[in-house]
Amino acid sequence: MCGIVGYIGDKQAQPVLFNCLARLEYRGYDSCGIAVAGSEVKVFKDAVRVKALEKVTPKLAGTLGIGHTRWATHGEPSRVNAHPHLDCPGKICVVHNGIINNYQKLRQKLARAGHHFVSETDTEVLPHLVEEYYDGNLEMAVSRALQEVEGSYAIVVLAVGNRELVIARRDSPIIVGLGDRENYIASDVPAILDYTSRVVYLEDNDIGVVTANSLQIKNGGAEVARKEHKISWTVEDAQKAGYEYFMLKEIHEQPKVIRDTIGGYVAEGEAVGLADSGDFDLGDVLILASGTSYHAALVGKYIIEELVRTPVRTELASEFNYCGCTSPRSVTIVVTQSGETADALKAMKRLKGEGCRVSVITNVVGSTASRLADRVIYTRAGPEISVAATKSFLAQLMALYWLALPYSKIDIRRLDSLITELRQLPGKVQQVLDREGSIAECAKQLAKFDNIFFVGRGINYPVALEGALKLKEISYIHAEGCAAGELKHGPFALLGKEVPVVAVVGNDNTYEAMLTSIKEVKARHSPVIAIVGNGDGEIEELVNTVISVPKVEPIFSPVVNTVALQLLAYYTAKERGCPIDFPRNLAKSVTVE
């Protein structure tokens, strides 16, 4: 997810572009750039934040320009990989948000035709492809070029000597902000609200030609009219797409995040199996991480042990640095959203020092972990602004499912049905999101308590840990995650009317034992909230409150159960008036040991 902008009018474009980009940094902030077209196109870009680039960019004369703030997916953050990208003669200039799945094929074809590429990005094929068809009619050249593109895109294209901007979209958003003798282009509304509140949204496969005084949109070659909307949001509201907090926005992004993460692996044919070449002995899989990523690693243990039937060790990165041993033949995987967590990086350096090949599952292209690792599996959650990790956790689970499936020792028909259900998970998650209201009601009760237990068994034990962490982080309630089977070995002493228990009940071989645990908890007078599959009358009779989630294959239950727990934590913290996105004493990326 990147931010793209464009301007054409009678103002100097440079300050407008920088101001609009600064409003879009929540979409990506690892590098940025602008291009201003005067007699020639001048491009300034670097792996810095928008404000930093603005400071060092000389005055560029011109009332037409485009800009970009990046969230790297292909090619790490650097000056050469930053956008805008140019064709060889520097006549065609493009900014892009999205992923071009067939870029390697297009690159080879264009290179054979004499085009020279300088970056590692997928995007750079676009200005070269447009150049192939450009004879002065930019709209036609862009339209022909896009017929060869597979994947998602929102683009703004300019050509030297051409007083217009051509824009297009497929599966990535782009809007036009209408002004008086000027027009603004952006990925999203926050960018242009300082200038106008009149907005037109392009739809998939639209191609638009924007001049200072006009906007013409075509779809499939035919002219189409798109409605003008009046926006009443503040800039900050708009960055959150109308959600009160980034956390709630990011929770609601999860169906798309699942599609993007799995879609990325499928599109790139990434058989991201457990071990790549070499003589790894599958007998020893070690997964390391911290915080929420550690809970994903623990779910990964259950996934891999069930599907691949090979033992998996999980270690807290911080503890691994004091003990833990590996052998160079171990499959070692580090999970880290930010790719900058000091404990995880220290563990990676130690593993590499001991001759291990280290794979990393990370969400940030170009992060230190991605550079340290021998192999990188990217999640595609996009930038996660809220300190409490939500969508990145689900994306990590998708990576772990995708890691294990190619090695699964299960019956091929079952494998097929699992892959089918994996593709249906976005819909199942949406069903949980649709129950937000009833979960918010339940949270109102929970917000009254100061001590809460979360319990689960099997693959839902780490989910209980994650539910407790989410609540702790943002509501400041003392919440403890615990394996349900461990309650009787101590925690029972703490139960009573003032200590509710949230039970995460899987529809698997742990069901009966969870039922027993719930009865034992009820016998000690603790109120019980159960997260359980639809229509479970037996549990309903037993517990105080039921949060029902769509039934899924047991191995996928962590996905739907976690979303319900994220919403429960969010609304409990909201009920307590907590600063949800930036809780006290925490940081999004913990870069100290």
By CB atoms closer than 10 A (0-12, 13-18, 19+), residue 261 is buried
User: Residue 555 contacts by C-beta under 8 Å, 6 or more apart in sequence?
Assistant: 302, 303, 306, 307, 401, 418, 459
3-state SS, 354-394, equals CCCCEEEEECCCCCHHHHHCCEEEECCCCCCCCCCCCHHHH
Minimum CB separation of residue 587 from ligand AGP in Å reads 8
The yes or no reply on residue 388 touching ligand AGP (CB under 6 A) is yes
What would the DSSP string read from start to end of 468-504? HHHHHHHH--EEEEEEGGGGGGTGGGG-BTTB-EEEE
40 to 79: interface string for ligand AGP, x by CB under 6 A: ----------------------------------------
Smaller CB distance to ligand AGP: residue 212 or 297? 297
Site for ligand AGP in 204-263 (CB under 6 A): none
Shorter beta-carbon distance to ligand AGP: residue 17 or 257: 257
Q: How far apart are CA 126 and CA 502, in angstroms?
A: 51
Taking the complex as a whole, how short is the minimal distance between the CB of residue 429 and ligand AGP, in angstroms? 18
- Gap between the Cα atoms of 54 and 51, Å rounded: 5
Nearer to ligand AGP, 5 or 389 (CB): 389
| Closest separation in Å from C-beta 456 to ligand AGP | 18
Nearest residue to 152 (alpha-carbon basis) of 107, 202, 201, 97: 97
Residue nearest to ligand AGP (CB): 291
Q: How far is the CB of 402 from ligand AGP (least distance, A)?
A: 18
Taking the complex as a whole, how short is the minimal distance between the CB of residue 453 and ligand AGP, in angstroms? 19
545: Cβ–Cβ under 8 A, 6 or more apart, which residues?
Answer: 442, 445, 527, 528, 529, 530
Please name the residue that has the structure tokens 């007699």: 39
Q: Which of 387, 501, 529, 568 binds ligand AGP (CB under 6 A)?
A: 387
Q: Which is nearer to ligand AGP, 467 or 554 (CB)?
A: 467
Using the rule CB under 6 A, give the single segment among 300-308, 382-390, 495-503, 509-517 that binds ligand AGP: 382-390
Q: Is 324 left (phi over 0), alpha (psi -120 to 50) or beta?
A: left
What gap in Å lies between CA 203 and CA 176, rounded to an integer?
12
Cβ atoms < 10 Å from Cβ of 141: 21
Binding piece for ligand AGP, criterion CB under 6 A, among 239-247, 375-383, 386-394, 417-425 = 386-394
Nearer to ligand AGP, 344 or 564 (CB): 344
> Do the beta carbons of residue 518 and residue 530 sit within 8 Å?
yes
Residue closer to ligand AGP by CB (options 336, 562) is: 336
* DSSP annotation of 57: P
Phi and psi based region of residue 525 (left: phi greater than 0; alpha: psi -120 to 50; beta: remaining): left
Phi then psi for residue 137, to 5 deg, are -100, 95
Q: Which of 346, 522, 551, 588 is catalytic?
A: 588
At closest approach, how far in Å is the CB of 235 from ligand AGP?
Answer: 26
Task: Check residue 75 and report its DSSP letter.
Answer: S
Q: Are 154 and 97 in contact (CB under 8 A)?
A: yes
Let me know if 88 is a catalytic residue: no
C-alpha–C-alpha distance, residues 236 and 71, integer Å: 20
Contacts of 393 (CB under 8 A, 6+ apart): 292, 293, 295, 296, 466, 562
Smallest distance from ligand AGP to CB 471, Å: 11
**Closest CB to ligand AGP among residues 293, 475:** 293
In the complex with ligand AGP, the residue whose CB is nearer, 162 or 379, is 379
Interatomic CA distance for residues 350 and 355, integer angstroms: 9
Integer CA distances (angstroms), 429 to 111, 223, 349, 563, in order: 43, 37, 37, 7
Check binding of 542 to ligand AGP (CB under 6 A). no
Nearer to ligand AGP, 310 or 589 (CB): 589
Minimum distance, C-beta of residue 572 to ligand AGP, in the bound complex (Å): 15
**For the chain, what is the largest distance between any 2 Cα atoms, rounded to a whole number of angstroms?**
81
Query: Nearer Cβ to ligand AGP, position 22 or 72?
Result: 72
Binding mask 278-307 for ligand AGP (x = CB under 6 A): ------------xxxx--------------
In angstroms, rounded to a whole number, what is the distance separating the alpha carbons of residues 353 and 341? 18
Residue 364: CB minimum distance to ligand AGP, A: 8
- Total number of residues that touch ligand AGP (CB under 6 A): 15
Q: Which is nearer to ligand AGP, 152 or 359 (CB)?
A: 359
Q: Which of 2, 20, 356, 578 is catalytic?
A: 2
Supply the DSSP string of 296-350, one letter for each residue.
HHHHHHHHHHHHT---EEEEEHHHHTTS----TTSEEEEEESSS--HHHHHHHHH
User: Is 2 tagged catalytic?
Assistant: yes
Site for ligand AGP in 318-377 (CB under 6 A): 336-338, 341, 344
Q: Which of residues 467-496 bind ligand AGP (CB under 6 A)?
A: 473
Strand positions, DSSP E, 419-485: 451-456, 478-483
Least separation, in Å, of the C-beta of 209 and ligand AGP? 42
Min separation Cβ 168 and ligand AGP, Å: 34
Return the active site residues.
2, 588
Q: Which residues bind ligand AGP (CB under 6 A)?
A: 290-293, 336-338, 341, 344, 387-389, 473, 589-590
